[in-house]
Amino acid sequence: MIPLLETQRLLLRGYRLEDFPEHAAIWSHPRTTRDFGTYVYDEETCWLRFMRNWGQWAMFGYGLWALEQKSSGRYVGAVGLLQAKRAISVPYRDAPEAAWLVAPDLHGQGLASEALTAALNWVDANIAAPQTWCMINPENLISQKVAARFGYTPAQSGEYKGKPMLTFLRSRGQA
């Protein structure tokens, strides 16, 4: 069961099939691909990511929540933890990985921070993992600032799919 969380402007909820078109649009938007290292996310890749986000809850007891804007009912992104089995050589690769994404037209409104506050509060109260990590494109300075705001500190840099990536660690309960 995926817990429902609520913030001032968002519902953090499980994915719905009708979220997929907006999910694919966000992942194929040039600003998203730029922020995530210029990877191209075709429909098939978006679908696999979408299904992964939903299925993580059944496998691990955590996953990514869909973000729904309360004022419009629109799917506007994702936040939470995942197990991506990324091909990156860091010793904490199998720890829960934090992730967040907000639709490009809503950047700069504090929605990622609002969603992360709710998600990490839930994670700290419900997931026994001593630490989580996140991976951020070195050019994505905004996500690096968001990570720092939530207690993620620089860890190890590495390469992911042939491109440099930064990783950050957060101890449980650290803000």
Which of 30-44, 98-112, 143-157 has the lowest average pLDDT? 30-44
Domain membership of residue 74 (yes or no) is yes
**Dihedral angle of Cα 134, 135, 137, 143, to the nearest 10 degrees:** -10
Whole-number pLDDT of residue 28: 79
Whole-number pLDDT of residue 35: 58
Residue 44, CA distances (Å) to 100, 120, 129 in order: 20, 29, 31
Closest CA to 36 of 109, 96, 86, 110: 86
Would you state the structure tokens that stand for residue 27, as one six-digit string? 């992942």
Residue 4, CA distances (Å) to 7, 56, 67, 142, 164 in order: 10, 15, 10, 27, 35
Domain membership of residue 10 (yes or no) is yes
Q: Can you give the CATH number for the domain in which 82 is found?
A: 3.40.630.30
Tell me the pTM.
Answer: 0.91
Domain membership of residue 173 (yes or no) is no
pLDDT at 16 over 90: yes
pLDDT at 123 over 90: yes
CA–CA distance, 11 with 19 (Å, rounded to integer): 13
**Total count of domains within the chain:** 1
Domain membership of residue 150 (yes or no) is no
Would you state the structure tokens that stand for residue 130, as one six-digit string? 């001593």
Domain membership of residue 168 (yes or no) is no
Predicted confidence (pLDDT) per residue in 38-81, tens digit:
566 788 888 988 888 888 999 999 999 999 999 999 999 999 99
* Position 32 confidence tier, pLDDT thresholds 50, 70, 90: low
Predicted confidence (pLDDT) per residue in 135-144, tens digit:
998 888 989 9
Q: Which domain holds residue 52?
A: 5-128
Domain membership of residue 156 (yes or no) is no
Whole-number pLDDT of residue 89: 84
Domain membership of residue 104 (yes or no) is yes
Domain membership of residue 63 (yes or no) is yes
What residue type is 43 in one-letter code? E
